[in-house]
Structure 1
Amino acid sequence: MRRYVLTGTPGAGKTSILRGLAALGFGVVDEAATAVIARAQARGEGEPWTRASFIDEVVTLQRQRQRQSEAATEGVQVFDRSPVCTLALATYLGWPVSPALASELERITSEGIYERQVLFVRNLGFCEPTPARRISFEESLVFERIHEQSYRAFGYDLVDIPADDVARRVEKASSALGGSAEHGHAGRTPWQY
């Protein structure tokens, strides 16, 4: 099993690329932070990222999804973000690195969970706000730099996915993944939520 991370700034088009890769048969694992935010907002909490426990909730869900993905023993999986992204998020929000996040960063590093090549989706020149994404374009550029610095600090090699139409971005990502899903499962996989 080869596990790759797809990352970038909020609003860069990661979800569209991920859906395109799923349609090609790659196993995909959705972003944990968005799910944590959606659950909290469904309970009436407008800005869950303003409390310190938010980071640990993201780490816990990321770990659960990664471990559940181990049921697939062949092919390629693409993860929408990783604990390195959670580190970038904590840095951006001004939260300290919690023991849970530090432990998860150590685990993914020592166990070599993710491939060293990371698909880095570059910004589109704008950032559309959503209920979970309340960030200006200028702020998103700062967040993009923090992500890039975080991955480089952990020794990952960034494969740029530049701004372009979705089909060409999916093609670029697929090519970086070896161009074939290799026994991946098309569409939704058991570990998606």
Structure 2
Amino acid sequence: MNLRTIITGGPGAGKTTLIETLAQRGFAVCDESGRAVIREQMSIGGCGVPWRDPQRFAGLMLARDIRAWHRSSGASAPVFYDRGIPDIAGYLTLCGYPIPPRLTEAISRYRYATDVIILPPWRGVYAQDNERKQSWQEAVETWKAMAATYEQHGYRLTTLPPAPPAARAAQAMEIISGR
């Protein structure tokens, strides 16, 4: 049984808060690669940020996501991911770039649990910051792109509606307990 569960959606939908809540409840989690890459690139003056070089940014996220996937290879309990490798394809599609063959291969090779949790846009918690520069409309379009990408790659989506973090965590735990 695949114990890797992805939590995806557009920016500012509450994914990271949900991941943090699950971690507080003792679950293993993998942080979002995109924000880590942005922080790293900004600290060194690198160009691998989405507003300078989206394709380089995607490549850096892919390398980080593959490492995260391998780190959980021996897991005997569920692991929650703040986004997964297919998110990179959704991002590139949204930006109008072709999906490189190495990314298509990675999506096929590094599989997660079939049931993916997707969080819809939530205006009540959406906020821009130094790492999240997308507008509200871009957040909505990202959510749509992620949904289409995951379905295209054979994943089954379960939407968790806007709710307090504890309620969403309980729903996420119900999803994985049904496996």
SS at match of 1:34: helix
Instruction: Return the alpha-carbon distance in structure 1 between the equivalents of residues 59 and 20 of structure 2.
Output: 27
* Corresponding letter in the other structure for 1:76: P
Match of 1:66 in 2: 69
Q: Is the contact made by 1:56 and 1:98 (CA closer than 8 Å) also made in structure 2? A: no
Q: Would you say 1:141 and 2:143 are equivalent positions? A: no
Which structure has more relative contact order (CA 8 Å, sep 6+)? It is 1
d(CA) in 2 for partners of 1:134, 1:19: 22
Show the counterpart of 2:101.
99
Deviating runs (4+, > 6 A) in structure 1? none
Length-normalised TM-score, structure 1: 0.84
Following TM superposition, by how much is the alpha carbon of 1:92 offset from its aligned partner in structure 2, in angstroms? 1.3
Q: Give how far 1:139 is off.
A: 1.2
* Matched position secondary structure for 2:73: helix
Q: Point out where structure 2 has 5 or more consecutive residues left out of the alignment.
A: none
Give the structure 1 partner of residue 87 of structure 2.
Answer: 85
User: What residue is the counterpart of 1:128 in the other structure?
Assistant: 127
Write out per-residue CA displacement over residues 27-81 of structure 1, whole angstroms, 9 at most, x where no aligned residue: 1111111111110011124771231222111111100111012243x11111111
Aligned pairs for 1:1-193 within 5 A: 2-45=3-46, 48-49=49-50, 50-51=52-53, 52-72=55-75, 74-108=76-110, 113-126=111-124, 127-178=126-177
Which letter maps to 1:135?
Answer: Q
Greater Cα offset, 158-167 or 97-106: 97-106
Please provide the CA RMSD for this pair: 1.7
Percent of aligned pairs with the same amino acid? 26
User: Does structure 1 retain, via aligned residues, the 8 Å contact 2:10–2:143?
Assistant: yes
Matched to 1:68, the amino acid is R
Q: Distance in 2 between matches of 1:101 and 1:131?
A: 27
Distance 1:79 1:11 in 2: 16
Query: Partners of 1:20 and 1:9 in 2: how far apart?
Result: 18
**TM-score, length basis structure 2:** 0.90
- Alignment correspondent of 1:190: none
For structure 1, which runs of at least 5 residues remain unmatched after alignment? 180-193
Aligned-partner residue type, residue 65 of structure 2: Q
Size of the aligned set, in residue pairs, is 174
Contact 1:34 1:132 in 2 (8 A): yes
Q: Which moved more, 1:168-177 or 1:40-49?
A: 40-49
